[in-house]
Amino acid sequence: MKILFFVLLFILLPIFGYSFDLVFKPTVPGALYYPKEDLKADFNLIGEDKPNSSVKVSLKFYDPYGNELYSNLKTIEFGENQDALTVDLPYYIGHVKIVANMEPTNKEYIFNYAIIPPNYQDFKDVDSPFGVNCHFNQGWDPYVGKIVKRAGIEYVRDGEARPEDLSAPVCIENKLCYMPCFTHIAFPSWEYMTQEREKGKTAFDKWDFKGYLDDYALFAEKWGDYVDYYDIANEPSNVPNWNAFGGSWYGGEWTNLFLQWGEQVAKNIRKYDKDAKIVWEDCGPQLWLRQFVAEGLNPKYIDAISPHPYNLHRNLPLPEDTETIEDYALTALWLKENNFKNLPFIIGELGVSSFQKNENYNEDGFYSSVTELEQAEQVVRHLATAFARGVKKFFYYDFKNDFPEPYNPEGNFGLINMDFTPKPSVVAYANFIARTRGCEWLGRYTCGAGCYAYAYKQPGAETGSVIIWSKNGDKTTQLFHCDNCPDTLITYDIFGNKCETIKKEMGNIFNVHATQTPQYIDNIPLEDLKWTVYKQAYLTE
């Protein structure tokens, strides 16, 4: 009987008992290939119960729009006892999803890779406006830093900075710029505030945080030669101790206490980094900054204001409705009227979550659900809108998905997947960087209702480019006053692929089919753009 059992087990194991899996291993960081690199990847079988016979894997490839790229099914075969195969991947500019089906297990796997512009720079670019939020101090693999650099993103923000920092070494190794934000090392001073409040001390009293802010000085002493900006506190009104002193997210009595605390934090940082740029956070619109200034904020202790203009609420989901961007103009004018320096805006957090709805999704919940393609579209729309309106730096939140569940809103903000492979959004960001790095934003291009367009030019260029999209749905809009334009122009999608060739029509106009996916149009003479582009007053000094 025992012999029969083991004979049956041997027969049935290949059908029901396999526990091995297929793993995708790209040959470059983050599966972000550059156009002239060898487009290869390894596929590996892992697990204890790999079969003794051959294993076949069929592969299908899809672009970000869901179109199959190659009609011929590609099949790879692992020979007997073979664990690894090196495969030539199909060449396609932009993001590619691989759907792999493995025999005999009938398991399906999803892998991703992309071809992006060669964005890597072998130096630290402090002038770069392109940033992202990472969480190395919360345990992210340092390998992520290599992917950030490869994409062309130059600045990292980490919200858990501390003297024994884990983010700074990653940035130094990869020649990335770093904006630390301090949450962890603020706890001693917050605990002290709680103790004093319980004794009856108010936000309007004089506070001395001596001995409670030493870690700020220690951080600056250790990392100050490398750090460029210091974000002193993450979303301060969310800290219970602030609200306990009176007020809410919209400000109130707690801002009097925060003003004292923030200036003392700045002093501690500058003990060891005298030229440190101090960043104070705000929300949208600029509520706290106005209160800080009214309460006597010393201009020497603030060098930038950093809003977190999330606008993912289901009632306000679109980038063009971001109130902080519109409020930038009013705030800049208000600062001038109050004899205060024009503080640069650094968007510290802004993200779009590509989570999926399911039966448990709450329609009254805060977030708007978007697809991965919509996430990529909105990342570009946010970037263009912000930079064209004068934002100095932009930190997308955040670089990597935090949770594997597709239905988790908080877990799907990432530009890349948890397995370090690209989502379409990181490819769109990388292409945006390649197109606009070092450019001058000329202003908003006048176009039809419901359409948005912004013009920019590269240093020394005699022609400019326009990035254009429709806020909702498809619309036909016009590029006009194109007197000196060539007879044809080419539009490109957010991933770098040609969309269509448009021809000059009577009256020297071009009709553009605008969709919610932005398009780039190059080769427009600056002489023509001056008639159609206007700059907001707050962008001129």
Domain assignment of residue 330, yes or no: no
Considering 382, 405, 438, which residue would you say is the last residue of a domain? 438
Domain assignment of residue 125, yes or no: no
SS3 350: strand
Domain assignment of residue 324, yes or no: no
User: Cβ-count burial of 377 within 10 angstroms (0-12 exposed, 13-18 middle, 19+ buried)?
Assistant: buried
Q: What is the pLDDT of residue 459?
A: 92
234 and 254 in a single domain? The answer is: yes
Q: What is the pLDDT of residue 11?
A: 42
Q: Mean pLDDT in each 10-residue stretch from start to end of the chain (541 residues)?
A: 42 54 96 96 87 87 93 85 92 96 90 98 97 97 98 97 97 98 89 91 94 96 96 80 80 91 97 96 80 91 88 68 73 80 88 84 72 95 92 95 90 96 98 97 89 94 96 91 96 96 96 96 95 66 38
434 and 448 in a single domain? The answer is: no
Tokens of 155: 């600045």
271 and 210 in a single domain? The answer is: yes
Domain assignment of residue 372, yes or no: yes
Q: What is the pLDDT of residue 365?
A: 67
SS (H, E, C) 20-74: CEEEEEECCHHHEECCCCCCEEEEEEECCCCCCCCEEEEEEEECCCCCECCCCCE
Q: What is the pLDDT of residue 7?
A: 39
182 and 262 in a single domain? The answer is: yes
Domain assignment of residue 8, yes or no: no
419 and 449 in a single domain? The answer is: no
Tokens of 194: 């709680």
232 and 175 in a single domain? The answer is: yes
Considering 81, 115, 149, which residue would you say is the last residue of a domain? 115
Q: What is the pLDDT of residue 8?
A: 39
Domain extent, residue 103, equals 17-115
Report the CATH number that the domain containing residue 186 is assigned in CATH: 3.20.20.80
159 and 84 in a single domain? The answer is: no
Check if the beta carbon of residue 145 is closer than 8 Å to that of residue 156. Answer: yes
What distance in Å separates the CA atoms of residue 192 and residue 189, rounded to the nearest whole number? 5
481 and 423 in a single domain? The answer is: no
Domain assignment of residue 323, yes or no: no
163 and 220 in a single domain? The answer is: yes
Check if the beta carbon of residue 297 is closer than 8 Å to that of residue 255. Answer: no
Check if the beta carbon of residue 56 is closer than 8 Å to that of residue 77. Answer: yes
Report the CATH number that the domain containing residue 477 is assigned in CATH: 2.60.40.1180
DSSP letter at 211?
A: T
399 and 502 in a single domain? The answer is: no
Considering 413, 438, 463, which residue would you say is the last residue of a domain? 438
Q: What is the pLDDT of residue 327?
A: 73
Domain assignment of residue 269, yes or no: yes
Structural domains in the chain (count): 3
Check if the beta carbon of residue 353 is closer than 8 Å to that of residue 409. Answer: yes
231 and 261 in a single domain? The answer is: yes
Q: What is the pLDDT of residue 334?
A: 83
What distance in Å separates the CA atoms of residue 180 and residue 131, rounded to the nearest whole number? 12
Domain assignment of residue 61, yes or no: yes
303 and 261 in a single domain? The answer is: yes
